[in-house]
Every structure is written in structure tokens, then in C-alpha cells.
Structure 1
Amino acid sequence: MSFGFLGIQFGFALQGGFMSRIFQTLGAEKDTIPILWIAAPLTGLIVQPIVGYLSDRTWHHKFGRRRPFFLIGAILSTIALFFAPYSSALWVAAGSLWILDASINISMEPFRALVADKLPDSQRSYGFVVQTLIIGIGTWIASNLPWFMTQIGIPNTAAPGVVPDSVKFAFAVGAVVLFSSILYTILTTEEYPPSDLEAFEKEKEASKGFFTGVQEIFKNIAGMPEVMKKLGVVQFFSWFAFFTMWSFATPAITEHVFKATDTSSEAYNNAADSVGNYLGTYGLVSMVFALILAFITSKVKINRKLVHMLSLFTGGFGFIMIFFISEPWMLHICFAMVGVAWASILSMPYAMLSSTVNPNQMGVYMGIFNMFIVIPQIVAAVGGINFMYKLLFGEEVIFTMVLAGSSLILAGFSNLLITDRAATHDG
């Protein structure tokens, strides 16, 4: 039931690892990159609660509750992923990112809800960790695709303003994997019908209409569980950090570590391929760490809060170390530490949340919870990154990685706000 996340993460990894490279190739200045990302989280802020709400109120005897949304998102994501690297102008690339991110999210949030639908509380840490294991595999493979394409002879350089063929081929492979893996989940996974189908149909009938749906979403936002609000603080600092990485890892590392700034040069494109390789390391380590957590959570009960806190601290120090390294290979160590945080971010908050939410509202609350992912990205995109790293650390773009690390450490400390035992411990 989680295999489709392999494809979803192919999309996210290619988007996160290489859209900034595409923006730079098309002439974007470093400080303008975050604003080019803004359409994606803005759309997510609107799309995710709506998709969650609709999936809660969907039931078909053949297609189920969540799977129709998997298919819609997969079709749209595949199209957007294929065409993104063929963008001829910055506004086209930004539009492609907007469509791609929104489409992936149509599939992603119902996937989160599906795990909570099908597993009892005692197995949810395990379920979300297994999902994270698959995400780690996707991140590692997809992040290395442009590098691999270069190794088999596909050019990784092109004329100024043209995205290299290695990136185009990588996105095409990602599109195929995304669609086929989600389709596999759709075809092989059964969903449970609502426990009381008659009551479900009556509730769905009563909530018909656009304005009724909007009112219910806002009512759910206003009445969100206390644990969810506290987790929102943790999520804010966590996703601010990772948005900073996706926006600035390529310009920061190619400039600071490889001393390459000419985006049409072979040196820059080799360095950008290497950045993708290093980003793959965090996916690989998140896979290994998730595998370890999967083994542990299948055998014993864990303290989710403590695991998440220590993991975020590890990732935060990994980001900060990037500023101090003397050799490029050391980036593997830094991103390995980031991978520990990534594995926890993709599992522990959802396990904590799902233990405190009404099962009949799982979809809408998973969608609302994603607001705490997209809001920090919006804050970062509209100037939060540029303002904060220059104010706190200095003008050099490498300080964005120091900012990302500091944000993750704050996210770790924010876990101390969560005191509900139902959330922090396996049931």
C-alpha cells in the first residue's frame, strides 16, 4: 500500500534536487530562486485540505476511498514531470513546478491517510516508517539519475539557457516510475469500507455543496487537536530547513565547495551533478535509518518524541557542518546526518498525529496538517531565507545551509511542547 510512494518521491527528489538548477540555467539570480518556488506551496495550502476532505467523503465499492485521488495525481504529475526540463523561460519553469507540486500532493496526502486507515494505532509507527523506507529508496535513486545519465554518455552540458539532456532524460525516467509505481498500489491494494456505510452516506449527503465543504474545512482547522498545533511548530522549523536546502543547496555548494558559478560551464554542471549525488546520500541514509526504525518498531514500543528530537538535532548539525568542510567527499557525511532527520520527519509526526485524530476525519486532518509544511515554505520563499541568513550570518550563499541547520535544531527543541502520551508513545 506504500509502494506508490516510490514514484511520489522520484517526483519530489527530482523537483527538490534539480529545479533550482533549471532556474539558474534559465538565468535566475540566486536570491530570486526562492520566490520562483512560491507557487508550489501556495497551491498546496489550498489543494491539500480540499483533497483530504474529499477523500474522507469518497467511497466506491470498486475504487475505494483514497485510490481515485492516487490516479488523478499520478496522471497530472507524470505530465508535469516530463515537460518541466523543456521549459524555455523562467515563468514556464516556475509554472511547471507549480503544476508538478500540486499534482504530487493530490496523490501524497491520501497515501498518508491510507496508512492510518488500514493500520491500528500499535502499528502506525511501523507503517509510516516503512513508507519512509520506500521514500528513501526513491530519493536516493532519483537524486542520482542526472549523474547516472552522464555516466552512460548523455551530455550534461548544453548551450546557455538550455537544460542539459542528462536532466531531461532523468525527468522522463522519473515520470515513468512515478506513474507505474502509483498504478501498482492502485491495482494491488484493497481499502476497507466505512464501518457504518449508512451513516457515512447520510453524513456525505448532509455535507454536499461547495460552501458547506469550505465551512467544514474551516471548522476542522479551528477545532484541530492540541497535539496538532504543537506539532505544527515542529513542522514549521523542519520544513523551513528543507525548503532552504532545496532552494539553495545547488548554488551554495557549487559556489562554496566547487568554486563554480558559470551555469553553462562544464565545471558547474559536473558540480551540479555531484550535488545531486550528495542529496542522494540523504535519501540513502533515510532509507537505512527507516529500515532500522522499522525493525525496532515492529519489536518494541518507542518514544516517538524522543526519536524525532534526536533525529532533528542530527540533521541540524549535518547542515551546519557543510560550511566547515574542506573536501567535497565530506558532504556525504553531512547529508548522511541530514538523512536521519529526513527519515524521522516523514514518519514520526504522522504517527503522533494519527494517534490523536478521529478516524473518520483522517483525510482532512492529514491535509490540514500539510498546511504546517507549506506555510514555512511560503515564509521562506517570500524573503524569509534571504532576510534571515544575511541578518544572522552573512552575505555568502553558503550561510543558507547554516540557517537550515539552525532551523532544524529549533525544530528539535520544539518537540518538548508535546506532552500527550497517546501521541508520543506507540499504543
Structure 2
Amino acid sequence: MQKQQPRLSFWQLWTVSFGFLGVQFGFALQNANASRILSDLGADLHSLSFFWLVAPIMGLLVQPIVGAASDRTWNKLGRRRPFILAGAIAAAVGMFLMPNASLFVALIAPMIFGVLMLALMDASFNVCFQPFRSLVSDMVPAEQRNSGYSIQSLLINVGAVIGSILPFVLTNVVGLENTAKAGAVAPSVVWAFYIGATVLLGSVLWTVFRTKEYKPKDYYAYKGLDAELVEKELAVQKTLGQKLSEFFRLMKSMPDTMRQLAVVQFFSWFALFIMWVYTTPAITQHIWGVEVKWFDPVYLNSVDVPASIIAAKGAAGDWVGILFAAYSLFAAIFSVVLAKLADKIGRKVVYAGSLFIGGISYISFLFFQDLTPTTVNLLITQVTVPAGAVNLVLPMVGIGIAWAAILAMPYAMLAGALPADKTGVYMGIFNFTIAMPQIVCGLTAGFILKYAFDNEAVNIIVVSGVAMIIAGFAVFRVKEHVQVTRL
């Protein structure tokens, strides 16, 4: 007979997901600054998406393996927490090293070193992400699932706000330099990564040592599983071939809800990948008026780059941090009401509506070009930027709404459809629906940008808007699993 899983207090729900704040802090720093760092180290514009392929490939390889391993792990530290802690330590190492690529030039080319550290960070973030998703599914009873994932979404976005804005703050408040010499990284970005690594470790340690996972016997009872049967299955030693066979069997027999969500995930994450890779060049060109030629490494090596171009690139790069912080802030605010909206009008309506708003917001980038210098009071400092840069805060509201829904709704819809003893591996398999669209985008976006849009990056942001709208329509094809709790 299934035991009633205890409800968690607000602070227990908060603590379970608190480490995600630091992980997303680091992830936001990477998203807002990786293209900037790689460009400073010598990457050309249309090849950026190829370098960014490292992220989804790491997710594709790491998350299913970690998911399956965490399903089979029970030790003194717990089931999911050992992986969360190990991933956080490795990610912090990558964050300390990546912005210092130029220091290792005697051993390896800075560009290659930067890509290797990007791979290390992404692999480590994925080691953290997957067990965190499963930890919430393990610890939170079905009736609190909307709240659990909404709190997780809130914490993710709080971390993203701080991480995104940090280089701007270090430049405009602390006074660190935001421009970089050829083959080096701006000091403001370097120190932002140092701080991010520290916050990541601190928040993960809080969750790891303040969350007590259920003992196997209790966990299986709460999930309605036969503990002896599961433990016998886990005790069986399987060959690599058997493990692969079982993995592909699980993929083939995945719940229909997961298959249907995969279509939504494909188009929404295709859109997000474009945003992360190309927002910096898009607004540098479209809002700051920097010509496409100033993103061509061959041309840059043949001329003396004017100080005005260097300054414009630095200012635009900082402003991307503000914009990414803005959409994360709006996502955090929307996360507060997301669960209540989903409970009242349904997850699918909220999810689809959020994606429609996000898609329209991406397309609206086209209409905010205004080079008029405008002084903006950001409370912590005043800056002068083009009026179009200020106006771009408006579409960030819609993008933030979409991002909050993407972080919470698919997992809330999926969790009830998964067998409790296979949650980790299925959550890892579900990450295919995040990684694959990014890989497809990484392989195609650079060519689309170069040959369809002549490297005018704002146009590919419009493509992401169309993809997000398609994702919204696909939500209505998803059939949710209705979980019945047996008392």
C-alpha cells in the first residue's frame, strides 16, 4: 500500500532548490558572456554557433548517464546530492579558468583553451541540473509539484538576474575595465566569473547539507513501489551492452506525454539557443550601429580598430547583461504567480500563452532601432546608451514570461507521467529534447545568418521568434497524465 508522502513547508521547498540559484548564476554568466569571450579570443561571427555546440553536446552525453547513475545511487550523502556537489565543484574550476585562457598561451591556443573550459563548465552544469530536477520530483508530493517547480524557477531566475548584471555592475559601479585587448578577456568579465564560481559553490553546499533525502524504504513507499523488488533489480550487475539495450528500450517506451512535449521543447530551445548566441552581435549592430565588418576577424587583423568601435562593443556587451538580467527578473516575478495560474486555468493554457508572448517579443527586436543617446538611471549608476537599447527592455518582459514557463511547465507536466524508480534516467532522456534542438540550431544558424541574412544578426533573432510561436501551438497537442494517489 502506498504511504502518503509528507507535504513540505515553504522553506523546505525553498531549500531543495536553493542550489539552483548558484548553478544558474554561473550558467547566466556563461550565456551572457561566452560569445563575448570567444569573440575576444578570436572567433568570427558565423562560427559562434559551432563553438556553442559544446553546451548541448555535453548535455546530451552527461544528463542521461548521470540520471541513470543517480537512480541507482543510495549512500550517506543521499541519492541525488553526491552528483549535485561533484558537478558544482567541477563547474567552479571551469569558471575560474575560462576567462584566463590567455595565461595558458604557452601551452595551448587561447581559443582552444576557452572552448575546453566551456566544455568543462557545460558538462558540470549538466551534472548539477539533472539531479536537481529529479531531487524536486523525489521530494515534492504530487499536489505541491506546481509550487515546487515554480519556486525552482524563481530561484533560477534570481540567480540569472545577478549573474547577468554582474559584469555591468563591476564596470559601472566598481570601476573595472570592460574592454579587452586582442586575445584577452575584459577584467570585469574575469572577476564576474570568480564571484560566480564562489556563489555557485556556496548555494549548492546549502542544499546538499540542508536537504535530507528520503531513505530508500520510505521513498519507495511514498511512490507506491515494492522496495524489495526494486532493490533486487538494482543489485543485478549488467554489462555495458545490457545497459545500452535497457536505455534504448526506455527511450522507445517513453510516456506519450514526453514524446509530445519533445516537439514543444524542440522549437522553444531552438529559439533560446539563437538568443544566447546572437543577442550580443544583434544589438551591437542593430542598436549601437556597429557595421558587420567589425565582426570579421580577417578584417580586424588588417586594420587598426578605432577606439569608438571597441567602446561600442564593450558597452553593448555590458547591456546584454542588463537585458538578460531583465528577462530573468521578469521571469522570477512571473514565477510567483505561475503555479496559481496553472492551477486555475490549466498548465497548457499558461504554457502556450507564455510561448506566444515570447515569440512576439523576439520578433519585436526589429522595431526598436533608435541610435539617439539616452541617459538611464539604473539606481546603482547612470549610463548613456542608445534609446533603442532602453526600449529593448519591453520585449524582455515577454521573453521572461516565456522563460519562466519553459523552466517549470514541461517538468510539472512530465513528472506525473514518469515511473518513480526511473525518474532520473527519464529526466536525463528528456534532456535530449533540450540538447538536440540546440545542436540542430548550432549546425544551421551560422549558415542561415551568413547566407540568408548576410551576417545581420537581428534577423536571426526574428527566426527565434517564429520558432517560439510554433512551440506555443505544439503545446495543445500534449496530453497530460492524471496521477491518482492511492491511500
Fold-level match, TM-score > 0.5?
yes
Matched, 1:117 2:165: no
* Alignment correspondent of 2:319: 274
Check conservation: 2:79, 2:213, Cα contact below 8 A.
Answer: yes
Q: Deviations over 1:153-188 (max 9, x none)?
A: 111113222111000000110000111101110000
Q: Measure the CA separation in 1 of the matches of 2:283 and 2:200.
A: 28
Check conservation: 2:157, 2:332, Cα contact below 8 A.
Answer: yes
Q: Measure the CA separation in 2 of the matches of 1:224 and 1:394.
A: 42
Q: Deviations over 1:66-102 (max 9, x none)?
A: 0000111011000001111112322211111111111
Deviates more, 1:126-135 or 1:206-215: 206-215
Equivalence map 1:91-170=2 (5 Å)? 91-151=112-172, 152-170=174-192
2:415 to 318, 339, 354: 354
Q: Measure the CA separation in 1 of the matches of 2:476 and 2:237.
A: 38
* Deviation of 1:336 (Å): 1.5
Q: Measure the CA separation in 2 of the matches of 1:200 and 1:221.
A: 20
Matched, 1:304 2:347: yes
State the one-letter code of the partner of 1:255: Q
Deviates more, 1:82-91 or 1:242-251: 82-91
* Deviation of 1:198 (Å): 3.5
Q: Measure the CA separation in 2 of the matches of 1:5 and 1:46.
A: 21
* Alignment correspondent of 1:236: 266
* Deviation of 1:387 (Å): 4.0
* Deviation of 1:47 (Å): 1.0
Equivalence map 1:9-408=2 (5 Å)? 9-60=24-75, 62-88=76-102, 89-151=110-172, 152-194=174-216, 195=220, 196-260=226-290, 262=294, 265-296=310-341, 300-326=343-369, 327-382=388-443, 384-388=444-448, 395-408=455-468
Q: Measure the CA separation in 1 of the matches of 2:48 and 2:101.
A: 16
Q: Deviations over 1:14-39 (max 9, x none)?
A: 11110000111112111000001112
Q: Measure the CA separation in 1 of the matches of 2:446 and 2:366.
A: 17
Change (3 A) 1:215 1:421: closer
Q: Measure the CA separation in 2 of the matches of 1:388 and 1:201.
A: 51
Check conservation: 1:10, 1:177, Cα contact below 8 A.
Answer: yes
Check conservation: 1:315, 1:405, Cα contact below 8 A.
Answer: yes
Q: Measure the CA separation in 1 of the matches of 2:90 and 2:453.
A: 40
* Deviation of 1:420 (Å): 3.4
* Alignment correspondent of 2:299: none
Check conservation: 1:312, 1:408, Cα contact below 8 A.
Answer: yes
* Alignment correspondent of 2:375: none
State the one-letter code of the partner of 1:150: T
Check conservation: 2:266, 2:434, Cα contact below 8 A.
Answer: yes
- The alignment partner of 2:418 has SS state of coil
Q: Deviations over 1:245-287 (max 9, x none)?
A: 1110101111111123657712210111011111110100000
State the one-letter code of the partner of 2:349: L
Q: Gapped runs of 5+ residues in structure 2? A: 1-15, 103-109, 221-225, 296-308, 370-387
Q: Measure the CA separation in 1 of the matches of 2:321 and 2:273.
A: 15
* Deviation of 1:294 (Å): 4.0
Q: Measure the CA separation in 2 of the matches of 1:127 and 1:377.
A: 27
- The alignment partner of 2:476 has SS state of helix
Check conservation: 1:207, 1:213, Cα contact below 8 A.
Answer: no
Q: Measure the CA separation in 2 of the matches of 1:422 and 1:254.
A: 47
Check conservation: 1:40, 1:99, Cα contact below 8 A.
Answer: no
Change (3 A) 1:29 1:390: closer
Change (3 A) 1:294 1:225: closer
- The alignment partner of 1:144 has SS state of helix
Check conservation: 2:46, 2:447, Cα contact below 8 A.
Answer: no
State the one-letter code of the partner of 1:412: G
* Deviation of 1:207 (Å): 4.7
Q: Measure the CA separation in 2 of the matches of 1:39 and 1:363.
A: 23
Q: Deviations over 1:107-157 (max 9, x none)?
A: 111100111111222211111111000011011110000001002111111
Q: Deviations over 1:326-379 (max 9, x none)?
A: 321111111121000000000000001101110111100100000000001111
Check conservation: 2:28, 2:163, Cα contact below 8 A.
Answer: yes
State the one-letter code of the partner of 2:246: E
Q: Measure the CA separation in 2 of the matches of 1:341 and 1:410.
A: 13
State the one-letter code of the partner of 2:475: N
- The alignment partner of 1:59 has SS state of coil
Check conservation: 1:260, 1:271, Cα contact below 8 A.
Answer: no
Q: Measure the CA separation in 2 of the matches of 1:193 and 1:393.
A: 56
State the one-letter code of the partner of 1:404: S
Matched, 1:8 2:23: yes
Q: Measure the CA separation in 1 of the matches of 2:285 and 2:271.
A: 20
Q: Deviations over 1:280-310 (max 9, x none)?
A: 101000000001224556xx45411111000
* Alignment correspondent of 2:476: 416
State the one-letter code of the partner of 2:354: S
State the one-letter code of the partner of 1:65: R
